[in-house]
Amino acid sequence: MMVIAAAAFFACATPRSFVWYFVWRFAAGVSGGTLMALAAPTVMPHVPPARRGLAGGVIFTGVGLGIAASGTLVPLLLKMGLVATWCGLGVLALALTVLAWGGWPDEPTGLAPPGVNAVHRPGLALGALYVEYGLDAAGLVPHMVFLVDFVARGLGRGLAVGAGYWVVFGLGAMVGPVLAGQLADRIGFARAVRLALLAQAAAVAALVVTASPVALFVSSAIVGALVPGIVPLVLGRVHELIPDDPQRQAAAWSVTTVAFALGQAGAGYGFSFLYARTADYTALFAIAAVTLTTALVIDLAVALASPRIARSHRQA
């Protein structure tokens, strides 16, 4: 999958046809999703439980580094043209593939492909986590897709200022996973997930109220930190809900990754459709804030309902 991801960059540098481009962008999405689903579960069994929050944060810091690179490296490469930009990214991806090639654990972890030796039956809390993660992915789309355009054109402050906030977004993404992982090691993954959802909802809602430089900076940094930062938190929460069962953990993590991908894909189209019809950035951020708040409400409702369900099962 690392090789496919690197090859996709070089393939997209060739201006052939829409089908050619579609196939390779699809391949890039599949490879990225697979790496997101398998990389952490492959490494985490080799990490002491007390350090898994930090380890998960370190793993997903790579996502933040990629975001930061897109705000700095891509504009520099674009000065040399689109073909050079695609090829430059391909060289970087290939170099990172070579660097990481020997870093995978040699010892077997007991993981099996989902569905081979394990039947995946999510309980209430795990099923709710799938929904929450999908909603979280949807709520992040306006910042990930429209933030720069909102600042540059919507507020009329120019592309340079918009790119500056995207760099802030990327810097937040670089430190977010590690900070989130350390927080989870201290307060637990369940509480950390709720706190992350609350912070995201507040940061997105802030842009509905004001577009001051301070609000834009804080909102960009918080959402940027939690775009990759939510990933180790959800991964750790999956491990909490399914302790000591690597096969079911792998199956559940695959489902959460699919939920996140579906949330982003659906919201990407939905928000783009809405903007094309209304040209209203505020509506996008408002809907995203409601979406994130809904995810938080679901999590709190399940947390309150779970003890009652457990008591009823014991009485039965």
Cβ atoms of 263 and 137 within 8 Å: the answer is yes
* CA 26/CA 8 separation, integer angstroms: 9
Confidence band of 311 (pLDDT split at 50, 70, 90): low
Confidence band of 91 (pLDDT split at 50, 70, 90): very high
Task: Specify burial of residue 191 (Cβ count, 10 A radius: 0-12, 13-18, 19+).
Answer: middle
Confidence band of 115 (pLDDT split at 50, 70, 90): very low
Tokens in use for 268?
């990407």
Per residue in 145-176, pLDDT (tens digit) is 899 889 988 889 887 788 889 888 888 888 88
- What is the model's pLDDT at position 114? 45
Kindly give, in sequence order, each residue whose CB lies less than 8 Å from that of residue 157, ignoring residues fewer than 6 positions away: 151
Residues above pLDDT 70, as percent of the chain:
90
Assess whether pLDDT exceeds 80 at residue 75.
Answer: no
* CA 6/CA 1 separation, integer angstroms: 9
Fold assignment, 2-99+123-310? Growth Hormone; Chain: A; (1.20.1250)
- What is the model's pLDDT at position 6? 94
DSSP 8-state secondary structure symbol assigned to residue 155: S
Per residue in 202-245, pLDDT (tens digit) is 999 999 999 999 999 999 999 999 988 898 899 889 988 888 77
Higher pLDDT, 223 or 73: 223
Cβ atoms of 288 and 155 within 8 Å: the answer is no
- What average pLDDT does the segment 5-23 reach? 90
Q: Domain map of the chain by residue range?
A: 2-99+123-310
Grouping H, G, I as helix, E, B as strand and the rest as coil, residue 179 is: helix
Which of these, 136, 170, 142, 143, lies nearest to 261 by C-alpha position?
136
Mean of per-residue pLDDT scores for the chain: 84
Distance of CA 12 to the CA centre of its chain: 23
Residues above pLDDT 90, as percent of the chain:
40
Kindly give, in sequence order, each residue whose CB lies less than 8 Å from that of residue 100, ignoring residues fewer than 6 positions away: 2
